[in-house]
Structure 1
Amino acid sequence: MRVAIVHDWLVTWGGAEKVLDVLLEAFPDAELFTIVNFLDGESAPALQGRTIHTSFVQRLPGARKHYRRYLPLMPLAVEQFDLKGFDLVLSSSHAVAKGIIPDPETLHVCYCYSPMRYAWDMQHQYLRETGNAKGVTGALMRWQLHKLRQWDYLSAQRVDHFIAISGYIKRRIERCYRREASVIYPPVEVARFRHDRPREAFYLTAGRLVPYKRFDLVVDAFRHHPDKQLIVIGDGPERARLNAMAGPNVTILGFQPDPVLIDHLERARAFLYMAEEDFGILPVEAQAAGAPVIGYGKGGLVETIENGRTGLHLVEQSADALAQGIAGFEARQGVDSAAFDASWCRENAMRFERKHFLADLENSLASYLGAASEVS
């Protein structure tokens, strides 16, 4: 069986790329298609020796740093991929990858991280980040995003089967695309973490420092707790602003390699996360390392954190709510030393192990392929 995997773009090695890594392992002979690829073998070993097809956007001026500015061209770019002769196309999509045009006889399954946020609920952020929030250019970009939403909906009708990364995204697929989706949670490498190391006094947050992740709320919350320490791991456009906000009890380490992140997760008193996340691999990794999670109780965290057992769901996305959550967390631990036990966190994280993802994916694809062969 000839398999093609279509991934939006390869610029950083984040959560979607961790899933891609597992997909490439599951289909070692698959050919990979992506809009742009600016990762080298050192930063992405999974890509070494792999046949990778890129689009014309790869060769456009400034694409390496400003590829998002070419978003209006990406529907055209992804539709140009020649997928003739493949039996299965698996799109790994949070933007345009699901918009490919496969052969009529090809089965197209989309593993969807989210409907395209740039066209839907993150439109205003996208305009600000690209410097097109105002003026004639801004008006033109709004029109282009309107057309992009139309394409996004229509291209979703070309997908044979959707698989969502969470129940939260399943509902967004139904709302945006009017399509049903099954749910398979992303894989987490639980075995990489120890959960039995002594917990230390510091709190930890980590991830790409972009506006929608709301690291500003985490940093701001520690103004209410000057006696507590916060460590921030990650880099991104918000770093300068966070540095300006940070008090003496906040340390921003910037980007750190995985061993450093793992070491901090294994020692942190708790992991803090205020984004309304589609799934959120880092909070699950924190639990794998025995760290309870205090975070905004909407989106994927509702499905990955057991409220009151492996962490706390906050009802508001605000610095005050997080500050109160930390105080409540400490008060409960002061009364019950077994509260938020590391073994409970680890047990919960094991629901998302790689083996479960692979088994569920294999069963789903077998079912889809079997149904397609019966029809043909």
Structure 2
Amino acid sequence: MKRAIAYDWIDSQGGAERLLPVIFDAYPDADIFTLYTDYDKAPWARKYQKRIHTSILQPLYQLIQSKRALAFLMPLAAALLPLDQYDTVLTITSSFLKGVRTKPNAHICYLFAPTRFLWQEEKTYGIASKLLAPLKYLDWHSAQKPATLLTLSRHSIKQIQAIYGREAQLLYPPFNPSYLRHSSKPTVPLPASYFLFVGRLEPYKRVEVLIDAWNSYAMKESLVIVGSGSQRRVLERWAKNNHRIHFVPYISDAHLSYVYRHARALLMPQIEDFGYTALESAYCNTPVIAYKKSGVWEAVSRDKPNASIATQTPEGVYAALANFHTSSYNDIPIAQGVPTPVEFIKRLRAIF
């Protein structure tokens, strides 16, 4: 059987990029397709470089380096990928790869969530609704194409049903914490006491809410922001040289483990489909303070010492921190049902 795997774009390191190697390694004969690559930003993908095929957007991305500027061309680029040559195709997407062309009933889609900037975070991305209307039309029709939809949380099942009118099967992503077992102190200086954010610096992560909280209130602890993305410079300016806000680029796994283990808590003000960093934080015995409507709570328990952020505002963050106590905890529980990589692939093989 001739297989192909497709992912939106390969240009970063995050929770999804913990999942992709598990799938790529499990299907070594499958060709890999993506809209574009940036191996400098995604060094983890270099080992798969000979298997990876890109779309017509690759030269454009190299010129303009802007995901947002390419958005209106993505449905076309996805449709032009030659995936109709394969017997079965697995797309892994939170964007436009739902709309690839395949043989009848050959398309299995692991859909993380409906396309965020179209349906969930329009105001956050600052794109006029009239401009989004054609893309919403294309996106909705693209979501009708896959023969089978999988998704990574019950939170996403509800969103997919509400927006696309489709039923999706639940397949939690795998978690293998081996990369966090060893920790070493980073070379970058860290404050003595800090709360932590880890993730892509993109609009939907709502990091500006945390920065506004630190700018608006006299926080005793510092805020450490680990990650990179299109919003980094904007967020650095937003921080207004606040000496309690520290930006750290992506660091090694051993350094990341250290940063988790020495944080008072991980802050997640965004709506997450699942929340891989919450699993990482819990494994390192660091509490999670997350937005109450997020899918994070399928990955970790809502019980203390974890805590909820009631509103995505500086006031909501401040109130959550004011009520947060870490006086007595020994273990941060990870929710049942999160599979190991072996368990995950066993479940996936029943479908793909």
Is TM more than 0.5 here? yes
1:276 counterpart residue number: 271
Tell me whether 63-72 or 300-309 shows the greater mean CA deviation: 63-72
What does residue 151 of structure 2 align with? 164
Post-superposition shift, 1:165? 1.4
* 1:219 partner letter: I
Alignment match, 1:58: 58
**Does 2:307 match 1:312?**
yes
Secondary structure of the residue that 2:119 maps to in structure 1?
coil
Match of 1:323 in 2: 318
Q: Counterpart of 2:332 in structure 1: which amino acid?
A: W
> What residue is the counterpart of 2:332 in the other structure?
344
1:250 counterpart (245, 249, 254): 245
Using the size of structure 2 for normalisation, the TM-score is: 0.86
Task: Mark the runs of 5 or more structure 2 residues left unpaired by the alignment.
Answer: 185-191
Of 187-196 and 95-104, the range deviating more from structure 2: 187-196
Decide which moves more: 247-256 or 146-155. 247-256
Question: Please, which of 169, 172, 177 is the counterpart of residue 185 of structure 1?
Answer: 172
How does 1:73-222 map onto structure 2 within 5 Å? 73-104=73-104, 106-128=105-127, 133=128, 142-194=129-181, 201-222=193-214
Contact 2:173–2:338 (8 Å) recurs in 1:
no
Shift of 1:41: 10
Distance 2:182 2:10 in 1: 32
Q: Distance in 1 between matches of 2:300 and 2:150?
A: 21
The separation in 1 between residues aligned to 2:203 and 2:20, in whole angstroms, is 25
Q: Could you tell which deviates more after superposition, 205-214 or 286-295?
A: 205-214
Distance change (3 Å), C-alpha of 1:329 and 1:195: farther
Q: What amino acid is the match of 1:358?
A: I
Using the alignment, how far apart are the partners of 2:220 and 2:270 within structure 1? 24
- Unaligned 5+ segments in structure 1 are 134-141, 367-376
Question: What's the % identity of the aligned pairs?
Answer: 30
- How far 1:47 sits from its partner (Å)? 4.1
- Equivalent pairs counted in the alignment come to 342
The corresponding residue for 1:357 is 344
Q: In structure 2, what is the Cα distance between the partners aligned to 1:152 and 1:351? A: 29
Does residue 261 (structure 1) correspond to residue 290 (structure 2)? The answer is no
Say if 2:183 and 2:255, in contact at 8 Å, map to a contact too: no
Q: Which amino acid aligns with 2:69?
A: R
Task: Give the letter aligned to residue 60 of structure 1.
Answer: L
User: Which residue identity is paired with 2:225?
Assistant: V
Whole-Å Cα distance in 2 between the matches of residues 15 and 172 of structure 1? 20
1:297 is matched with 292
| Counterpart in the other structure of 1:27 | 27
Distance 1:245 1:76, change over 3 A: same
- Report what 1:227 is aligned to: 220
SS of the aligned residue for 1:361 comes to: helix
**Structure 1 residues 14-39: Cα deviation after superposition (integer angstroms, max 9, x where no partner):** 32232222110111111011111222
TM-score (norm 1): 0.81
* In 1, Cα distance between equivalents of 2:61 and 2:155: 37
Q: Which has the higher helix share?
A: 1
Shift in CA distance, 351/117, structure 1 to aligned 2, threshold 3 Å:
closer
Which AA in structure 1 matches 2:202? V
* Residue-by-residue CA offset, 1:323-343 (whole Å, 9 max, x unaligned): 22223222xx34xx2x3x2x3
Structure 1 residue 218: Cα displacement: 2.1
